[in-house]
Amino acid sequence: MKTKIQACIIDDEKDGRDYISLLLQNEFPEIQIAFQAASVEDAYIYLTKNSPDILFLDIQLKDGNAFDLLSKFKEIQSEIIFITAFENFAIQAIKNGATDYLLKPIKKIDFVTAVNKALNNIKKTKNLVNNPGQNKIALPTAQGFTLIDIADIVHCEADSNYTIFHLNNKTKILISKTLSEFEKHLLEYNFFRIHHKHLINLSHLKEYIKGKGGQVMMTDNSVLEVSVRKKNDFLLRIEYRD
């Protein structure tokens, strides 16, 4: 389990990477630089296997741009801080889930503000699981939060930038956060993502139906698709042998 906040720096200029590293070392010693890269290719290889908490991302890289990199993934779970010499990509950066957008040369005060914003977002997400000893989760609402037992969650469904929680009493709760944000914290409670739209509680798994990817039936009688890409990992997880 990670004990420090993990950061990844993608910038094709060594001076740029070194300056971000120095700022982090001086201002945020609790953040560990897990990886640095200068190209889309190297960053892609790393991000397919790792999910840093914060991604510092230059826009113009030597073999493409930041948006080429992000387009290779359905979702990036990291807080993304874009750092660039160009002003005209701000709107596109926001559409790609930017936590902040900093212009070079980086001003320390702007950098500190951006990183604090990212850390605050990370803290909020991690605090979604409220007192794991009691196995409850706090789901944010407009008025505050709803506290529910994790055992009562049958499955979670992605709906664009929202997540729908399906509970065993047939109720549904719509939360304005992505499924990936919940996935990171529910995996330790016997949840498994069978599809880019579905995260299921394996304790509520009722039946598996064979197919190209297959389907699962849950205890609330909902039938959900298993993606072809997830099928083998899912069957291994439930220790099924054909």
User: Do residues 13 and 107 share a domain?
Assistant: yes
Residue 105 covered by a domain: yes
pLDDT for 127 equals: 60
User: Do residues 90 and 172 share a domain?
Assistant: no
* Domain CATH number, residue 184: 2.40.50.1020
- Of 80, 103, 123, the last residue of a domain is 123
Cβ atoms within 10 A of the Cβ of 102, count? 19
Residue 75 covered by a domain: yes
User: Do residues 93 and 10 share a domain?
Assistant: yes
Q: pLDDT class for 125, splitting at 50, 70, 90?
A: low
DSSP secondary structure letter of residue 151:
G
User: Do residues 116 and 170 share a domain?
Assistant: no
**Cα end-to-end distance, the chain, whole Å:** 33
**Beta bridge mates, 159:** 162
Residue 168 covered by a domain: yes
- Please state whether 216 falls in left (phi above 0), alpha (psi between -120 and 50) or beta: beta
Token duo for residue 78: 């990291």
Residue 100 covered by a domain: yes
Residues 27-73: tens digit of each pLDDT: 999 999 999 999 999 999 999 988 899 999 999 998 988 998 998 88
Residues 65-123: tens digit of each pLDDT: 899 899 888 778 789 999 988 888 877 887 777 899 999 999 999 999 999 999 988 87
| Collapsed DSSP state (helix, strand, coil) of residue 41 | helix
Residue 28 covered by a domain: yes
User: Do residues 40 and 111 share a domain?
Assistant: yes
Q: pLDDT class for 203, splitting at 50, 70, 90?
A: very high
pLDDT of 2 > 80? The answer is: no
pLDDT for 73 equals: 85
pLDDT for 132 equals: 46
Residues 175-193: tens digit of each pLDDT: 988 898 888 788 888 999 9
* Domain CATH number, residue 113: 3.40.50.2300
Of 16-30, 77-91, 156-170, least confident by mean pLDDT is 77-91
Residue 69 covered by a domain: yes
User: Do residues 17 and 75 share a domain?
Assistant: yes
Domain encompassing residue 228: 151-237
Token duo for residue 72: 């290779």
Please state whether the peptide bond connecting residue 105 to the residue before it is cis, i.e. omega within 30 degrees of 0: yes
pLDDT of 146 > 90? The answer is: no
pLDDT for 126 equals: 65
pLDDT of 130 > 50? The answer is: no
